[in-house]
Chain A
Amino acid sequence: MAGINAGTPEVAVGEPVKLGTNGEYELEHDPISDKLVVRDTVNGTEAYIRPETTQGLGQKGAFLRSLIDGEPLADDGRTYATIQEAEQAANGWMFIPPGTFAENVVVTTDSLTIAGGGYGTVIDGGTTGHALNIQADDVTVRELSVQTAGGNANAYHGVYAQNPDATLNTVTVRDADGSALFLQNGGITVVNCRVEMCDDDGIRAATEDYYSRNTIVGCHIAGTATGIWHGKGDDAIVANNVVTGCTNFGIGFGGASNDCVCGGNRIHNSGDHGIHVGSGADNLVFNNRISGSTNADLDDGGTNTLTDANVTGAAN
C-alpha cells in the first residue's frame, strides 16, 4: 500500500482517515470511548487503541472526561478539580460524578441545577463547614449524598439552604454534625430524600426567622434528634414521610407555625412525642400513624388544630 488519501489529509469529523491506495485501512475516532478504531477494510476486522493518558484532551467529550477523571463538569463544557470551581463557572447546570469531594461548597449562582451521580457522589464537609451551603435563589440539588463530621460542637449541616425556592430531590444525608437539611428560607421543596443519621434535627426548617411554604414529602428519616422540625412560619406541608428512631420528636411544629399541613406520615419510636404541635393556630394533623413514642404519640398544644383520623398506640 502507499500514500495517505490523495489530496488533502484533512477529513471532517465523523469521516475516517483512509490509508493506502485503495483505502485498505481506515482510522476513526470513537467519540464515546475516545479510542482510535483501526479498521482493515479488506477483511472487516477492527482493532482499538486508546491513549494511556488523558492529557491534552481539552474539551473533547467533557461529560465522559468528568466520569473518567472524577471531576465536576460545568455547562461551559469544562471539567474542574473541585465542585466549587465548577459552581463558579456554571451558568445553569453542573454535574458531579461519583466520588468523594472534601469540600465546603457555597452556591451563589441563582437557578443553578446541581446534578449528582447518585449515592456515590459524596460532598464531605468534614469538620470545617457545611457540606453544601445554598446562598442563591431557585437552586435545585438532586441525586447525591452529603455529610459532615463532628460532635455538634460546630453545628455544620449537610445542606444549609439560606435562600428561597430551593429544591432538594433524592439527596441522602449520610451523617451531619448539625442538621441533615437546615432550611432557613421559604418555598423550599424537599422530596424523596433520605437522612441516615445526624446529631441535630434531621430536617430543621424556619428556625432562624419566619419562613413559609416549605414542603417536605416522601422522605425516609432515621437516627436524628427531632426528625422534622418546623419552627416559625406558615403554610408548610409535611406529608408521606417515614420517621423512625428519633431521640426527640418525630415531627414537631414550633409555637409560631400556623396553617401547616401534617398528614400521611408514619412515625415510630420517637424519644419524645411522635408529633408535637406548639402554640400556633389552625394547623392540620391528619391520617398519621404514630407509635412507640416515649411520651404521648400526639401532643397538641395549638389553637384550633384540626386533628383527624390519626392512629396512635403500639405498633403491631
Chain B
Amino acid sequence: MVGYDDTNDALTLGDDDDLVIGDYRVGYNSTSGDWEAVYEPTGDVASVPTNQGGSLFPTDFADALAGKALADDGNLYSTVQGAENAATDWVFVGPGTFAEAVTVDTSGLKLWGCGYETLIDGGTTTAITVSGTGVSDVTIKNLSVQTTAAGGNVAMGIDTARPNTTVENVTVRDSDHQGINLDAADCAAYNCTVESGDASGIHINTGGLRCIAIGNRITGTGTNGVKIKNDDSIVADNVILNVGGHGIVIPSANDCLVGGNRIHNSGNDGIAISNTQNSIFNNRVSGSTNLDIDDNGTSTMLDGNSTGAAN
C-alpha cells in the first residue's frame, strides 16, 4: 500500500506497489532488494544500483553524512535538532557546521559527533542545552561547540541541568559564557578541551553536586579555568593554561577534591579556595598573577602542592 511519510517527505511503497511516471513503472523488488524502473512499452528493466553487501557502512557514508545528522529512526536530518526530536536513544552527527542551538530533552540520549569537525554553532544562544523533566543519563561526545561573544555573557557551549550527563571528548572552540556548565548532580566532563571563552571553561554550578572533571585541557578563557559551586566534586588531572581569572576557584563549595592539576599563567590566583574542608593536593601551580594558591577556606586540606615559577 502506498503511504506518505511526512516527516521525511517521502512516499512509502509496499512490496507490490509501483509508482508510474509517464511510461515508466518504478517499484521495489523485494526479492532482489533493488529498485527497478520498467519501461512499459518494451518491458525493458533498469535496476537502480545500491550499495552491495560486505561493508559495515554504505558507500560514501562519510560524504553523505556531511552536514547531516542521523537519528536512530534511520533517517537523515539537516539539523541536529531535527534528529534529536526524532531519536529515541542515539544521534550521530556528521562533519560540518550546524548553525543552531540544540536542546537535548531525550532521556538516555547519546549525541555523538564525528569529532572536532562536527561543530554545533549556537551563535548568540547556548549551543547544546540538556533539559526536560525526568531527563537523565545523556551523553555528549566527540564534537565541537561554539557561541559568539556578541551574546553578552549568556550563551554557553554546553549547559546541562539534568543529572548524570556525561560530556566526553568535546571541544569548546569559543564561548560567550561558560564553556561547559554542569548544573545537576553526578555529571561528568572527561577529556574535553576548552580553547577559548569569555567565562569559566568548566563550571560546576550550584546544581552540580558530586560532579567529576578529569583529564580536561582549558586554555585562554576570559575568567576561570574551572569554577566549583557545589559540594563533593572531583577536579583532577586537568591542564589549565593562560586563563584570565583563577585557574581553579571554589567560591561556594565544600568537601571537594582538587588534585593532580597543572595550572600555569593564571590571570588571578592559580587556585583560589573558599568554604570548608576542601582538599587541594598534588597540584603544580606556577606563573599566577596573584597567588599560586590563595586559601581563604576553613579547614582546607593543602597537601603536596608545588608552587613557584615554572622551569
Contact = CB atoms under 8 A, between A and B. Distances in A.
Interface of A: 1-5, 9-15, 17, 19-20, 25, 27-36, 38, 47-53, 55-64, 67-68, 73, 75, 77, 97-99, 117-121, 143, 170, 172, 192, 194, 217-218, 220, 239-240, 242, 244, 263-266, 268, 286-289, 291, 308-311, 313, 315-316
Counting from the closest, the 9 A-B pairs by CB-CB distance are A59-B53, A118-B110, A120-B89, A98-B89, A31-B58, A309-B303, A316-B254, A48-B10, A56-B33
Contacts of A98: 72, 88-90, 110
A38 B56 contact: no
Contact of A266 (B214, B232, B276): B232
Contacts of B68: 32
Contacts of A217: 214
Interface of B: 1, 3, 5, 8-15, 19, 21-24, 26, 28-33, 35, 37, 39, 41-42, 44-61, 64-65, 68, 70, 72-76, 88-90, 108-110, 112, 137-139, 164, 166, 168, 186, 188, 190, 210, 212, 214, 231-234, 236-237, 254-257, 259-260, 275-277, 279, 281-282, 299, 301, 303-304
Nearest to B55: A77
Given A4-B37, A266-B255, A51 B59 contact: no
A246 B219 CA distance: 38
Given A192-B166, A220-B188, A316-B231, A64 B58 contact: yes
Nearest to B108: A119
Nearest to A93: B56
Contacts of A291: 255
Contacts, number: 299
By secondary structure, the B interface counts as: loop
B45 to A, nearest CB: 7
Contacts of B70: 32, 64, 67
19 contacts: A13-B49, A25-B24, A31-B58, A31-B60, A50-B5, A51-B30, A52-B13, A55-B30, A56-B30, A59-B54, A77-B56, A98-B88, A117-B110, A170-B166, A289-B256, A309-B301, A311-B299, A311-B301, A315-B231
Given A5-B46, A15-B49, A75-B56, A244 B210 contact: yes
Contacts of B24: 19, 25
Contacts of B108: 118-120
Given A4-B46, A20-B22, A316-B277, 4 more contacts: A25-B24, A50-B8, A242-B234, A289-B277
Central interface residue in A120, A239, A265, A308, by most chain B CB within 10 Å: A120
A254 to B, nearest CB: 25
B59 A13 contact: yes
Given A52-B14, A67-B74, A266-B210, A117 B89 contact: yes
A14 B58 CA distance: 11
B88 to A, nearest CB: 6
B231 to A, nearest CB: 7
